[in-house]
Structure 1
């Protein structure tokens, strides 16, 4: 995601290789064209003012926060959760490896609620590390998955690298990988956080057609919705996406560097040493298929749903959560006054209780429209 109203003023210099004699004329011209277009795109969308400094460099400057006083990233330090188990890996048709963890409670059976966790863009299953042990303690099996391109979910078919890490194809690969993992589970629930909400809806949408997994419910935590939210600048994302696929190593590497800086400087994401972590994130955002999201959501209209978010989310406005809520099956609707974008961390204990109760109700066959509505409950 690229933010329209960024968090602070900052200046970033991208210094390209100093030895210009090693560059082809084609590459040099492409760099100049890219810098001009990037500057123009940024000005149009209020993301950054770009200016050219010395030859061979880009300047990204002056990002300002919007006037809203009620936004939060909620990054306050918390007690460290217990370590997660060692990951497992599945090879999917020699296209990619899918890395995941399988956290099993005591007395595991086919009837045990199984919750599949899908991270945002960027992200990994570690984004749920505060929630996972709490769910396990409440008798829930938790499967945390890394989508293709993130952490150990590496691409094997590198010729088609960008295709495999794109929004919908990455879910198709993940769905195929999870069929074997979840085949013995009678009660599977799929949870998506942030842009993982799109992935979760696609995952359940695929299953509505293929019926390979016993999915009983959909959970969206601060989930992306029917349209680009306030943290997205679609045209700039598209331009960076085109830079990545330019076929020119210098342009591609410059785009990767810029994307990383925007995430860590503007969004205040912690830096990551994982290869192409931020690149995979921007690709998922740039290739998001909003009409397909709407169609898959419609296919899931009868699927029990659970939605939660915070009113002070700095990335996604509440109207988007409410729009999605309106077309989902009745179920818990929890809005926190404070909690930021990462409610799976800031509200982990509360959500663990609510999720467990809801999944138990679904497993027991209780009619959701009798137990829940789509009315929103406000919590601190």
Structure 2
């Protein structure tokens, strides 16, 4: 641990010096980013994307925290077909699911795109700890405030998959399906390792404003230039590390067991064979935990997944409720490249619930 901290400190100093030389690229404007600055962007963004503000209150350490949750709602008047509650990864937002919008609209399915606090839309709060339980409470509060009931499918991408399965269990009367897209596994994937470095960053960030001041430019550079995941501020990058620290992957097992006991809830584990963040064997272990039947494998490099959709529909019709689907040539963003398949899977989930 001590050696990790020394390495990190040296790296932080080097990154800070590099960023000072990069002022022409405007990276320095994020050094002193505050939630107030983010708020200007968030308030102006409500004009598009079917966004709305939902006032929610959750309990954090025995105190109530109220937030203006910014969500995407494609059918505010509701849908008789069904509703998908989409939970993004880290970093991420409702825009991660934009490629699903046309086929979902054609199918008459409502989409509720969640935006977690701290990622460009919903403002963060210093009272939040960003634990798994807290995140689940946040999404549940949105579900309750919007009065969502009956024919619900919870969809989670990457870090959001853990929340999706928790929400499915919390809504036993209304949930008919769970769509996991490039989900987390039951052990750390390559995108979360080394855990010692992730935990060290979180430890240093939690020391307070002084270390946060020096960490912001380094973390911003790290996420945008090295990890190639766009974030707007160093605070957002730090939040990504905190959520990595808070991911209790093995705690998913009791929740998965409960879902396995539910024959009325369909689960699709869709993962990729060329995912640079989550190894295939990690995804396969998660699928095994769901006791999935025959795995559907799509080896084609085109973006048409009609055969996979038909195979999935046949498995559902034959009584299978938990199914794994592997796309060998795809990356970490199946919701972009396999949007039609994902919507077909959601339609099949809703259809079998009739």
Normalised by the size of structure 1, how large is the TM-score?
0.68
Q: Is 1:236 aligned with 2:192?
A: no
Aligned mate of 2:156, from 192, 202, 220: 192
Distance in 1 between residues matched to 2:201 and 2:122, nearest whole Å: 23
In structure 2, C-alpha distance between the alignment counterparts of 1:219 and 1:318, rounded to whole Å: 18
Check whether the contact 1:105–1:140 (CA below 8 A) recurs between aligned residues: no
Q: How many equivalent pairs are there?
A: 287
Kindly report the root-mean-square deviation, in angstroms, between the aligned alpha carbons of the 2 structures.
Answer: 2.9
SS of residue in 2 equivalent to 1:227 = coil
Tell me what 2:225 maps to.
265
Matched, 1:319 2:286: no
Matches of residues 337-356 of structure 1 in structure 2 within 5 Å? 337-356=328-347
For the 8 Å contact 2:276–2:332, the answer to whether it is kept is yes
User: Using the alignment, how far apart are the partners of 2:141 and 2:90 within structure 1?
Assistant: 20
Q: Note if 1:282 corresponds to 2:273.
A: no
Deviation at 1:288, TM superposition (A): 0.8
> Kindly tell me: are residues 261 and 53 of structure 1, through their superposed partners in 2, closer, same or farther at Cα, counting changes over 3 Å?
closer
Please point out which of 103, 111, 114 is paired with 2:74: 103
Distance change >3 Å, CA 246–CA 96, structure 1 → 2:
same
CA drift at 1:188: 0.5
**CA deviation digits over 1:149-189, x for unaligned, max 9?**
22222234x2x24x1x2333122222123213243x31101
Counterpart of 2:42? none
Instruction: Give the whole-Å Cα distance in 2 for the aligned partners of 1:327 and 1:132.
Output: 30
Q: What is the Cα deviation at residue 320 of structure 1?
A: 1.6
Q: 2:102 aligns with which of 133, 151, 159?
A: 133
Q: Structure 2, unaligned stretches of length 5 or more?
A: 20-47, 58-63, 293-320
Query: How many Å separate the matches in 2 of 1:178 and 1:275?
Result: 30
Residues 106 and 360 of structure 1: is their aligned pair in 2 closer, same or farther, counting only changes over 3 Å?
farther
The within-5 A match list for 1:195-206 is 195-205=159-169
Corresponding residue of 1:4: none
* Partner SS for 2:99: coil
Deviations 1:207-240, CA, capped at 9 Å, x for gaps: 06xx5x6112111000001110011121111111
How far is 1:53 from its partner? 5.8
The normalised TM-score by structure 2 is 0.72
The structure with the greater share of residues assigned to helix is: 2
Q: Does 134-143 or 189-198 show the bigger shift?
A: 134-143
- Is residue 131–residue 344 contact of structure 1 (8 Å, CA) maintained in 2? yes
Q: 2:276 aligned with 1:307, yes or no?
A: no
Q: Distance in 2 between matches of 1:53 and 1:41?
A: 10
Query: Residue 99 of structure 1 contacts residue 153 of structure 1 at CA under 8 Å; is this kept in 2?
Result: yes
Match 2:350 to one of 336, 354, 359: 359
Task: Quote how far apart the aligned CAs of 1:275 are.
Answer: 7.6
Q: Which residue of 1 aligns with 2:317?
A: none
Aligned to 1:265, the other structure's residue is in SS state helix
What is aligned with 2:254?
295
CA shift in 2, pair 1:337/1:91, >3 Å: same
Aligned to 2:316: none
**SS of equivalent residue, structure 2 residue 91:** coil
Deviations, residues 30-51 of structure 1 (Å, cap 9, x unaligned): xxx99x7534469xxxxxx848
Give 3-state SS (helix, strand or coil) of 1:87's partner: strand
Partner Cα distance (1:38, 1:134) in 2: 48
Distance 1:101-1:274 versus aligned 2 partners, 3 A rule: farther
